[in-house]
Structure 1
Amino acid sequence: MVHTYTVALLLGLSAFRGMLCAPLGDASPALDTFNSTSLGFFARATPSPPHFVIYSDRRVSGLTGPPPVAQVKGYNVFALSFLLTEGAFDKAEEWTQLSSSQRSSIKSQYAAAGIKLIVSLFGATDAPTSNGADPIATANTMAAWVKQFNLDGVDVDYEDFDAINVGDGKAEAWLASFTRQLRVQLPQGTYILTHAPVAPWFSPNKFGGGAYLQVHSAVGSLIDWYNVQFYNQGSNEYTSCAGLLTTSSNTWPRSALFQIAASGIPLSKLVIGKPATSGDASNGFMSTSTLAGCVQQAKSQGWNAGVMVWEFPSAAAAWIQSVRSLAFPE
């Protein structure tokens, strides 16, 4: 996924990363605590599939923070993007600019509509492993931010391609340590914790450190689901139902949906991610009608994890209504 204020060209598994970030400041301790009998616990409990996830990074004139719930009807997770190692940017930053009462009001409206509000971490402009960020300290700081600003959880959009491509296992170990510490601070069943890997990172024997097959082996039980990015990986990658669902190309072998599941990733955790328009990604775009047909086909074969889209406002209520229409009509 691409940070709004950084010009990025994603070619294959490369990404340009900007370094100009706002300071995070001192994150305060958790402002709210929950136990298994509190209403707060049930309000935050991890939702069951299908998951319909929309990211929001782009500034929208006249709008600070998330849009009115009517504009995102049909989704059940809204991801404010991004919280970086050096601070909150774009929609995540906008969330901090609202007053506590404004955030509380928005949160209540989203909860009433069945939509969880989370923050997405890192994105294409952050390279935490390559830049030497400490995974434990970073997890602690980011989890404190989530608690301070009363969100439902996090999405780990790790795109440190250089670290994965080195193949020495350090990126995978970093992600495992980071995820474990997030779970210390953001307990499972109380907070959502998702990851958003690119689909090729599930290709067996393609990366020396194992990429996301290794991450899943180490900490998959702590991750609620994967918002898999089936885009930005080549002009002909994941653009047909067959390529998306059953038979990926030789470039990224065994990285189609059901092939990933065959490698041991639970099918119920594999959310199909796509760009809203051809302009929202370098490649991998599908029309809503084509994607709806693929989603219907996948559901007929036992999949029900859901769909992710990058990003609002290119995608909104009408987009997800179309994509859900054949398999998950409202």
Structure 2
Amino acid sequence: MVSAFGSTDTPTTNGYDPVTLATTMAQWVIDWGLDGIDVDWEDFAAMNLQNGQAEYWLISFTETLRSMLPAGQYLITHAPVAPWFSGDLYPTGAYVIVNENAGYAIDWYNLQFYNQGATEYANCTTLIDTSTTTWPHTAIFQINFDGEVPLDKLVIGKPAAPSDATNGYMDTSLLATCVQQAMSQGWSGGVMTWEYPDAAAPWIAAVRADSWPV
């Protein structure tokens, strides 16, 4: 797969047409025989305007990708920050609206539970069951219930080492415990991490040790 955008790219703010851009990227995926594309859209300026344009852009971009990259043949994933699923904080809907309109085209969400504050998503309770009031209703099971996102589409994203993010790091033992707890409650989304080489085979084996041991 290829990852699009990232923390330094602001395609919506910069006025790129979502249909044209998605068409170009989808064709690139096809031409190079890739498995799909991960949409790591982090245009905070656009989302924070709360005028609905960010949501419209993401929906149009995603639907165009899927029109060219059929389900079952190609993967389309998104990597939003977890707070964007808070309907309380984003009256225009943010990713709740994106999922409502284009969720059918998204295979899963690589949720970024990091870089959101030193005390946010720092333990199993706030990561899985009930987030803090800073980012309300954005723990895994809250996104599932309030945002109506299937549990198997919610992937827990955490940095592999303290140096890989500003904050949000969990050691592998604690993260493995959280993953096992979520799994025991019916979740099966899996884990993503940032970044290699810290997130090599030993990290992966440690995190899945209590749930999907290898």
- Report the TM-score when normalising by structure 2: 0.98
Which of 173, 181, 184 pairs up with 2:67?
Answer: 184
Q: Spell out, residue by residue over 1:171-220, the C-alpha distance to the aligned partner (whole angstroms, 9 max, x if none).
A: 00000000000011111110000000100001112113210001001100
- 1:207 maps onto 2:90 in alignment: yes
Equivalenced residue count is 213
Distance of 1:152 and 1:249 partners within structure 2: 36
Instruction: Tell me the amino acid that sits aligned with residue 197 of structure 1.
Output: P
Give, as a single letter, the amino acid of the residue that structure 2 aligns with 1:131.
Answer: N
- What is the CA–CA distance in structure 2 between the aligned matches of 1:271 and 1:168, rounded to whole Å? 28
1:328 lines up with 2:196 in the alignment: no
2:26 counterpart of 1:143: yes
The aligned counterpart of 1:278 is 162
For 1:213 and 1:156, locate their aligned partners in 2 and report how far apart those are by CA, in whole Å.
Answer: 16
Task: Report matched runs for 1:157-236 at 5 Å.
Answer: 157-236=40-119
Partner of 1:243: 126
Q: CA deviation at 1:323?
A: 0.3
Q: Check whether the contact 1:169–1:208 (CA below 8 A) recurs between aligned residues.
A: no
Rounded to whole Å, the distance in 1 between the matches of 2:209 and 2:139 is 22
Distance 2:108 2:25 in 1: 19
Are the aligned partners of 2:85 and 2:95 in contact in 1 as well (CA < 8 Å)?
yes
Structure having the higher Rg: 1
- One of 243, 248, 260 as aligned partner of 2:143: 260
SS at 2:203's partner residue?
Answer: helix
Contact 1:168/1:208, CA 8 A, preserved across alignment: no
Q: What amino acid sits opposite 2:81 in the alignment?
A: V
Please, what is the CA RMSD of the aligned residues? 0.7
Q: Residues of 1 paired with 2:157 and 2:166: CA distance?
A: 14
Secondary structure in 2 matching 1:286: coil
CA distance in 2, matches of 1:192, 1:328: 22
Identify which of structures 1 and 2 has the higher relative contact order when contacts are C-alpha pairs closer than 8 Å and 6+ apart: 1
Given that 2:88 and 2:136 are in contact with CA atoms closer than 8 Å, whether structure 1 keeps it comes out as no
- 3-state DSSP of counterpart to 2:188: coil
Contact 1:166 1:208 (C-alpha < 8 Å) held by counterparts: no
| Equivalent position SS for 1:284 | coil
The whole-number CA distance in structure 1 between the counterparts of 2:180 and 2:132 is: 22
Equivalent-residue separation in structure 2 for 1:299 and 1:320 (angstroms): 16
Work out whether residues 121 and 154 of structure 1, in 8 Å CA contact, stay in contact via their aligned partners in 2: yes
Letter in 1 for 2:80: P
Aligned match for 1:307, one of 178, 191, 194 = 191
* Contact 1:231 1:281 (8 Å CA) reproduced: yes
**2:200 paired with 1:316:** yes
| Cα deviation 1:42-71 (Å, max 9, x = unaligned) | xxxxxxxxxxxxxxxxxxxxxxxxxxxxxx
Matches within 5 A, 1:61-80: none
**Residue aligning to 1:298:** 182
2-structure distance, mates of 1:235, 1:141: 38
**Structure 1 equivalent of residue 35 of structure 2:** 152
In 2, Cα distance between equivalents of 1:153 and 1:209: 29
Over the matched positions of the two proteins, sequence identity in percent amounts to 58
